[in-house]
Chains A and B, each alone.
Chain A
Amino acid sequence: MAAMHFSVIQFPGSNCDHDCLHVLGAVLKQKASLVWHQQAQLPRGTDCVVVPGGFSYGDYLRCGAIARFAPVMDDVRRHAARGGMVLGICNGFQILAEAGLLPGALLRNRSLKFICDYTHLRVEHARSAFTSLARPGQVLRVPIAHGEGNYFCDAATLRRLEERGQVAFRYCEPDGRVTPDANPNGSLDSIAGVTNEQGNVLGMMPHPERVSEAALGGEDGRIIFESMLAALCRR
């Protein structure tokens, strides 16, 4: 299988860019490169775009609110419209939501505090390109690290998300039960990650790149990247 080409977008203030590059390149042996936010176009041959975590533009104004105007984002939108895969992690999720590529918004954590901790995620379905190798209902242990990850959308949108299977992950107990205690930040319906209607754009607050190597205390995050590779292979 030829290596897939991942473009990791680098904004001023991105700080998980190198972590994503490391997992995709050194761990999963794919082609991965940083793309500076000022570039008007993604590198040719980009199979998948990753919008990494961090504090793009210092999270000033509002998380992700400035990044969505970056020159490179126009081409990210075109890539998504063509059906190309886009994964937004943490601040990347906030940016994709601000850019209108994903529904909903991320509010301040219910506790009003930044939280860095392990969470458990229930895979809601295996239909999207990002979860195809997982079993529906499978529980993944993936950490979060954010101050504004409290997912919110209006009632009509929530209904649509449910109907169309756009909820990718929910925070849950280690045994898979979705409970208020397992919801770390107050997210609506315990939502931890959503896709767009077509299923080719995923945003998630937890960090799969932090649990993709056994040495770091877990490999549950790999299934997301490996699902993406499997989906790219199928095409």
Chain B
Amino acid sequence: MTARTKQTAETPAPRMGDPAITPQLVKEHGVSPEEYRNIVKILGRTPTFTELGIFSVMWSEHCSYKTSKPLLRGFPTSGKRVLQGPGENAGIVDIGGGYAICFKVESHNHPSAIEPYQGAATGVGGILRDVFTMGARPIACGDSLRFGDPQDPHVQRLIDGVVAGVGGYGNCVGIPNIAGETVFDDVYRENCLVNALALGVLKHSEIARGTASGVGNSIIYIGSTTGRDGIHGATFASAELSEASEEKRSAVQVADPFMEKLLLEATLELIRGGFLVGIQDMGAAGLTSSSVEMAFRGGAGVDIEVTRVPQRETGMSPYEILLSESQERMLLVAKKGKERAVGAVLAKWGLHAAVVGKVTASGLHRVFENGKLVSCISPAALADDHHPLFPVAHLPMRRPAYLAKAWAFKPKSLKAPKGLGQALLSLLGSPNLRCKEWVYRQYDHMVRTNGLVLPGSDAGVIRIKENGKAVALALDGNGRYCYLDPHEGGKIAVAEAARNVAVSGGEPIACTDCLNFGSPKDPEVYWQLGQAVKGMAEACRALKIPVISGNVSLYNESPQRAIDPTPIVGVAGLLEPVKGQLRTATQWFKRPGDRVYLAGESFDELGGSEYLAVLFKKKAGKPPRLDLKAEKALQGFAVAAIRAGLCDTAHDLSDGGLAVALAEMAVTGGRFGARPLGAEIALASRLRPEAALFGESQSRALFAVQPGQAKALESLARRHKVPLKALGAVKGDRLQVTLNSKPALDLGLEQLEKTWRTPLM
């Protein structure tokens, strides 16, 4: 052991009122017998009740990533733009001109399943704090949601609460929600998924970190008072949901977005004023994780006196104060001599502050109650995954038994639908493909006046007022693909998010991920996790998109079922001005007469498709294959075409395939001051009609260009080695598609738009 990790002989005295340490108590804390033996080894004695609580949260999956970390090491995390990779509150990438963006996605699944409004709201609050504690001003957020069947009243209650919660928080703080997705599948009935992303902008010189250093410096607590809410939230997030979870409602925190707004403004003033050594959000595991991680990163010791912590309830024990997850609280270390300046900023924003401890030379994390030692642990043992006794789970993996059967299914065995038009309408009106305006209408997506592309296209695009550039953002993930083939599904999650960004004009520069899986103790689930991460890492490497932050959410299970493996990827892309102009593309047709082109190759790929799910209630077959070289070429071509001003209309092909994409291009414009426009499309294909129209082959996109630009687009595609086919033209008020000269689709815009736009709820 190094000096830093050495535990001294300081021994806390037993505390009156604390329960005795028994195997039963250890088990209730989710600490395994082996982990407990290691705790005793680290301390050289039996832990106190407070210490057991600290170990249990810091070694929980939520904080320690003990089962996922060995797998995550495969992610590429560096690159020429990366200023901060994983390991801090959020990652940071350079966007030029001395500016950078900071972003991260995080889950709040279990709290949302129990208490949808507060669970979702505090999810948004937590991720915003992760971003502004890095010194970045949040300028956008996004969300990725999964629910069960929207006809089910239980699910409707969750949807209502979650959407209102995501909106309620972001709207109040004033952060536009510019990207997201909402997907329905029975596997999420009990265990909905709520992943929230936040993105901020900052100068390189303004980066703040969660570190404690400078012996004698004061550790200052700001924000809300501490209550008993959220005790063991991190542990709660690290076990399956069950009937008993209802009883853990107190593990869900309560949101106060107004307090967050004050914290945000005060924090940025403190960081930009240069008054701080370090700052950290009290998120999962509250005061414990923030003080431990700051001590560990700074290589310092920290002393905390719990009686100085502002409390909203009486009689709280050190254990409760340390493990509380009350929201909207931060811990900071002020520079010597700047304490008054810090006080003035906090007073301006009406925030209470309390000095709760100091930085020491002991190298230990020590907690006192009225001056009496109640806990004394080496920070490295709690936070350093290289510590020899830090928990690492080497769990068995097994290829799931269901796969052989699912792969044996051949979509060709199903009868083709009688009417292709009716099939298209069924898809367009299905909960997953229908317009999600009913969701994002409840989110303020225009505040901060930066929206160049608002929700309703493939990616949201916001300008960066500070340096004249713009950032595109998209969130994606396909649980069905990952269930059927986690490796390919993981690749596609990255590729699809990046493709959405690219067809909007942004060059993908970095990503963040949230891995939503079932219990890793199930060897089949652990295999899914391993495969998905491997696929994602391959895609990130091939597409040159480093992972700069992320979150792992395991144990997404109920007694009824485990969720489909659902990695969610958020990709940010950069738009550079050309001759002072920022060029974006959106998915809706803009002018009659524009030529319509399909880029990429189509195969007979209906396995795992929305078509099978909606029309045949089938989740089977092999999902589409992703050729990373073709994907890279397509994305490069899309960015180049948009940047060169060749086209302002582009749309990624994904769920529902070509026919759904064409219909969306025809009817989306209505919301954006444009009118719906039809098209005449002539397809030539050797594929079966349903595969040609609804197949979900990857690495494809549609473009619409003015006739004068058609030649230039064609030659650009050749240079990028992207197959490009002219399909027809924007025209009239119907979507008319022929397949090998035979009529395949002929639908009026009014019917298409009504089917697609009628709100689901």
Whole-angstrom distance between the Cβ of A116 and the nearest chain B Cβ: 5
Q: Let me know if B349 is at the binding interface, CB within 8 A.
A: yes
Whole-angstrom distance between the Cβ of B263 and the nearest chain A Cβ: 11
How far does the alpha carbon of A218 sit from the alpha carbon of B454 in the complex, in Å? Answer: 13
Whole-angstrom distance between the Cβ of A54 and the nearest chain B Cβ: 6
Q: Contacts A18-B448, A23-B449, A116-B442 hold; do A218 and B258 have CB atoms under 8 A apart? A: no
One of B350, B441, B671 near A115 (C-beta < 8 A): B441
Q: Let me know if A132 is at the binding interface, CB within 8 A.
A: no
Q: Is the CB of B258 within 8 A of A114?
A: no
Q: Contacts A58-B256, A145-B447 hold; do A113 and B172 have CB atoms under 8 A apart? A: no
Whole-angstrom distance between the Cβ of B676 and the nearest chain A Cβ: 14
How far does the alpha carbon of A88 sit from the alpha carbon of B386 in the complex, in Å? Answer: 57
Residues of B within 8 A of A145 (CB): 171, 444, 446-447
Within 183-198 of A, Cβ neighbours of B (below 8 Å) are at none
Residues of A within 8 A of B739 (CB): none
Residues of B within 8 A of A23 (CB): 449
Q: Let me know if A215 is at the binding interface, CB within 8 A.
A: yes
Q: Contacts A16-B447, A19-B448 hold; do A114 and B454 have CB atoms under 8 A apart? A: no
Q: How many residues of B contact A (CB 8 A)?
A: 37
Nearest A residue to B449 via CB reads A19
Nearest A residue to B174 via CB reads A15
Q: Let me know if A207 is at the binding interface, CB within 8 A.
A: yes
Residues of A within 8 A of B350 (CB): 12
Residues of A within 8 A of B454 (CB): 217
Q: Is the CB of A19 within 8 A of B447?
A: yes
Task: Write the B154-193 contact mask toward A (1 if CB under 8 angstroms, else 0).
Answer: 0000000000100110011110000000000000000000
Residues of B within 8 A of A13 (CB): 172, 258, 261-262
Residues of A within 8 A of B671 (CB): 118
How far does the alpha carbon of A207 sit from the alpha carbon of B451 in the complex, in Å? Answer: 14
Whole-angstrom distance between the Cβ of A209 and the nearest chain B Cβ: 6
Nearest B residue to A147 via CB reads B171
Q: Let me know if A117 is at the binding interface, CB within 8 A.
A: yes
Nearest B residue to A18 via CB reads B448
Whole-angstrom distance between the Cβ of B199 and the nearest chain A Cβ: 16
Q: Is the CB of A57 within 8 A of B673?
A: no
Q: Is the CB of B452 within 8 A of A116?
A: no
Q: Is the CB of A215 within 8 A of B261?
A: no
Nearest B residue to A210 via CB reads B446
Residues of B within 8 A of A54 (CB): 174
Q: Contacts A12-B349, A114-B442, A116-B446 hold; do A58 and B257 have CB atoms under 8 A apart? A: yes
One of B258, B443, B447 near A58 (C-beta < 8 A): B258
Residues of B within 8 A of A169 (CB): none
Task: Write the A12-27 contact mask toward B (1 if CB under 8 angstroms, else 0).
Answer: 1101101100110010
Q: How many residues of A contact B (CB 8 A)?
A: 35
Q: Let me know if B747 is at the binding interface, CB within 8 A.
A: no
How far does the alpha carbon of A36 sit from the alpha carbon of B348 in the complex, in Å? Answer: 10
Q: Is the CB of B261 within 8 A of A207?
A: no
Residues of A within 8 A of B256 (CB): 58
Q: Is the CB of B447 within 8 A of A217?
A: no
Question: Which of B164, B172, B443, B465 lies at the interface centre, i.e. has the most chain A CB atoms within 10 A of its CB?
Answer: B172
Q: Let me know if B622 is at the binding interface, CB within 8 A.
A: no
Nearest A residue to B177 via CB reads A116
Q: Let me know if A59 is at the binding interface, CB within 8 A.
A: yes
Nearest A residue to B265 via CB reads A12
Residues of A within 8 A of B172 (CB): 13, 15, 55, 58-59
How far does the alpha carbon of A22 sit from the alpha carbon of B446 in the complex, in Å? Answer: 14
How far does the alpha carbon of A147 sit from the alpha carbon of B442 in the complex, in Å? Answer: 9
Q: Let me know if B146 is at the binding interface, CB within 8 A.
A: no
Q: Let me know if B499 is at the binding interface, CB within 8 A.
A: no
How far does the alpha carbon of A36 sit from the alpha carbon of B447 in the complex, in Å? Answer: 20
Q: Contacts A58-B257, A217-B672 hold; do A143 and B171 have CB atoms under 8 A apart? A: no
How far does the alpha carbon of A114 sit from the alpha carbon of B671 in the complex, in Å? Answer: 18
Task: Write the A111-153 contact mask toward B (1 if CB under 8 angstroms, else 0).
Answer: 0011111100000000000000000000001010101000000
How far does the alpha carbon of A218 sit from the alpha carbon of B452 in the complex, in Å? Answer: 11
Count A/B pairs, Cβ under 8 Å: 92
Residues of A within 8 A of B258 (CB): 12-13, 55, 57-60
Q: Let me know if B633 is at the binding interface, CB within 8 A.
A: no
Q: Let me know if A156 is at the binding interface, CB within 8 A.
A: no
Q: Let me know if B582 is at the binding interface, CB within 8 A.
A: yes
How far does the alpha carbon of A117 sit from the alpha carbon of B437 in the complex, in Å? Answer: 9
Residues of B within 8 A of A113 (CB): 164, 442
Within 425-439 of B, Cβ neighbours of A (below 8 Å) are at none
Question: Which of B256, B441, B450 lies at the interface centre, i.e. has the most chain A CB atoms within 10 A of its CB?
Answer: B441
Q: Is the CB of A114 within 8 A of B168?
A: yes
How far does the alpha carbon of A57 sit from the alpha carbon of B350 in the complex, in Å? Answer: 11
Whole-angstrom distance between the Cβ of A23 and the nearest chain B Cβ: 7
How far does the alpha carbon of A114 sit from the alpha carbon of B169 in the complex, in Å? Answer: 11
How far does the alpha carbon of A114 sit from the alpha carbon of B259 in the complex, in Å? Answer: 20
Nearest A residue to B584 via CB reads A215
Q: Let me know if B228 is at the binding interface, CB within 8 A.
A: no
Residues of A within 8 A of B259 (CB): 58
Whole-angstrom distance between the Cβ of A73 and the nearest chain B Cβ: 17
How far does the alpha carbon of A115 sit from the alpha carbon of B163 in the complex, in Å? Answer: 12
Q: Is the CB of B672 within 8 A of A114?
A: no
Q: Let me know if A216 is at the binding interface, CB within 8 A.
A: yes
Q: Let me know if B463 is at the binding interface, CB within 8 A.
A: yes
Residues of A within 8 A of B168 (CB): 114
Q: Is the CB of A141 within 8 A of B673?
A: yes
Q: Let me know if B358 is at the binding interface, CB within 8 A.
A: no
Q: Let me know if B329 is at the binding interface, CB within 8 A.
A: no
Within 208-224 of A, Cβ neighbours of B (below 8 Å) are at 209-210, 213, 215-218
Whole-angstrom distance between the Cβ of B707 and the nearest chain A Cβ: 25
Whole-angstrom distance between the Cβ of A147 and the nearest chain B Cβ: 8
Q: Is the CB of A55 within 8 A of B446?
A: no
How far does the alpha carbon of A123 sit from the alpha carbon of B313 in the complex, in Å? Answer: 54
How far does the alpha carbon of A19 sit from the alpha carbon of B261 in the complex, in Å? Answer: 16
Q: Is the CB of A216 within 8 A of B451?
A: yes
One of B450, B463, B673 near A218 (C-beta < 8 A): B673
Residues of B within 8 A of A18 (CB): 448
Q: Let me know if B445 is at the binding interface, CB within 8 A.
A: yes
Residues of B within 8 A of A116 (CB): 171, 440-446
How far does the alpha carbon of A216 sit from the alpha carbon of B445 in the complex, in Å? Answer: 12
Whole-angstrom distance between the Cβ of A185 and the nearest chain B Cβ: 12
Within 254-272 of B, Cβ neighbours of A (below 8 Å) are at 256-259, 261-262, 265
Nearest A residue to B266 via CB reads A12
Nearest B residue to A55 via CB reads B172
Q: Is the CB of A114 within 8 A of B452?
A: no
Q: Is the CB of A55 within 8 A of B261?
A: yes
Q: Is the CB of A117 within 8 A of B441?
A: yes
Q: Is the CB of B446 within 8 A of A215?
A: no
How far does the alpha carbon of A113 sit from the alpha carbon of B450 in the complex, in Å? Answer: 24
Residues of B within 8 A of A114 (CB): 164, 167-168, 171, 442-444
Within 45-76 of A, Cβ neighbours of B (below 8 Å) are at 53-55, 57-60
Nearest B residue to A26 via CB reads B465
Question: Which of B262, B672, B673 lies at the interface centre, i.e. has the most chain A CB atoms within 10 A of its CB?
Answer: B673
How far does the alpha carbon of A145 sit from the alpha carbon of B448 in the complex, in Å? Answer: 12
How far does the alpha carbon of A55 sit from the alpha carbon of B442 in the complex, in Å? Answer: 16
Interface residues of B (CB under 8 A from A): 164, 167-168, 171-174, 256-259, 261-262, 265, 348-350, 440-452, 454, 463, 465, 582, 671-673
Given contacts A12-B349, A147-B171, A216-B449, 18 further A-B contacts (CB under 8 A): A12-B261, A12-B262, A13-B261, A16-B174, A26-B465, A36-B348, A58-B256, A59-B172, A116-B443, A116-B446, A118-B673, A207-B446, A210-B446, A210-B449, A216-B451, A216-B452, A217-B454, A218-B673
Nearest 10 interchain pairs by C-beta: A15-B174, A58-B258, A145-B444, A55-B172, A19-B449, A116-B444, A210-B446, A114-B442, A114-B167, A117-B441
26 contacts between A and B (CB under 8 A): A12-B261, A12-B349, A13-B258, A13-B262, A15-B447, A19-B448, A54-B174, A55-B171, A55-B172, A55-B258, A57-B258, A58-B259, A59-B258, A113-B164, A113-B442, A114-B171, A115-B442, A116-B441, A141-B673, A143-B446, A145-B171, A210-B447, A216-B449, A216-B450, A217-B451, A217-B672
